[in-house]
Amino acid sequence: MAHTLPPLPYDPGALEPHIDAATMRIHHGKHHQTYVDKLNAALEGYSDLQAMPLEDLLRGIGAVPGVIRTAVRNHGGGHANHSIFWANMAPNGEGDPTGPLANALTQAFGSVEKFRTDFTNTAVGVFGSGWAWLVADGATLKIVARPNQDSPLMDGLAPLLGLDVWEHAYYLKYQNRRSEYVNAWWNVVNWGDVEDRFKDVADRYSASGGA
Ligand code: MN
């Protein structure tokens, strides 16, 4: 079964003025579509891999045949990362995390505000193209940077919140001013989605007996 582009969960202009409609259209309809297409092309002829959920494919990247491993890493990673990225955002998504996620952020970083500062610094500091992520490492929350389209899933981490800092994510509106883009992006973070992902991870973790 071929991988497909998930529809944007809102209108391309819905995140204005923080993220512009033209960027969203190109980013979703062209960039993300290309990752999907190239992932499908790489998997052609590998029916066992085609049948695997994307997350499992990335978690087991080391078992993917060497001849297609880089393509799966780049394009499968791109597909997974962007699928999370769209869902991580929402119009009028600003505000603060609540409940268990807020508690876990406070425990890991000192405060929600300190988490924002650390995450912002990580995102602004990514050299070249890549991502900043809030991930769960077992029961522990961490901020990590990843180059290119590397997925945290490949390192056994559970991605909760990702910020794309490739220039294609912001150049039309912000040109070289990545920190302006990062600061604007906080206004469209969909904390409800991040809280749902955190709950899934926490539930899986306790079901596994903390393994
Ligand atoms: Mn992107």
* CA 165 to centroid of ligand 1, rounded, Å: 7
pTM, whole model, 2 decimals?
0.97
* CA 206 to centroid of ligand 1, rounded, Å: 33
Q: Predicted confidence band at 5 (pLDDT cuts at 50, 70, 90)?
A: very high
* CA 34 to centroid of ligand 1, rounded, Å: 11
Closest CA to 23 of 162, 166, 129, 173: 173
pLDDT (average), residues 179-193 = 97
Helix H or strand E segment including 145: strand 140-147
> pLDDT tens, 58-98?
999 999 999 999 999 999 999 999 999 999 999 987 789 99
Amino acid type, 94: E
In the prediction, which pLDDT does 209 show?
82
* CA 210 to centroid of ligand 1, rounded, Å: 33
**Phi, psi (degrees; rounded to nearest 5) at 112:** -65, -35
> pLDDT tens, 117-140?
999 999 999 999 999 999 999 989
Closest CA to 132 of 141, 142, 122, 140: 122
In whole angstroms, how far apart are CA 62 and each of 57, 69, 203? 9, 8, 26
* CA 114 to centroid of ligand 1, rounded, Å: 26
* CA 108 to centroid of ligand 1, rounded, Å: 28
Closest CA to 81 of 172, 147, 177: 147
* CA 23 to centroid of ligand 1, rounded, Å: 10
In whole angstroms, how far apart are CA 108 and each of 86, 199, 201? 25, 16, 16
Mean pLDDT of the chain: 96
* CA 168 to centroid of ligand 1, rounded, Å: 6
In the prediction, which pLDDT does 1 show?
66
* CA 110 to centroid of ligand 1, rounded, Å: 30
Q: Predicted confidence band at 211 (pLDDT cuts at 50, 70, 90)?
A: low
- The Cα 46–Cα 117 span in angstroms is 43
* CA 181 to centroid of ligand 1, rounded, Å: 13
Amino acid type, 12: P
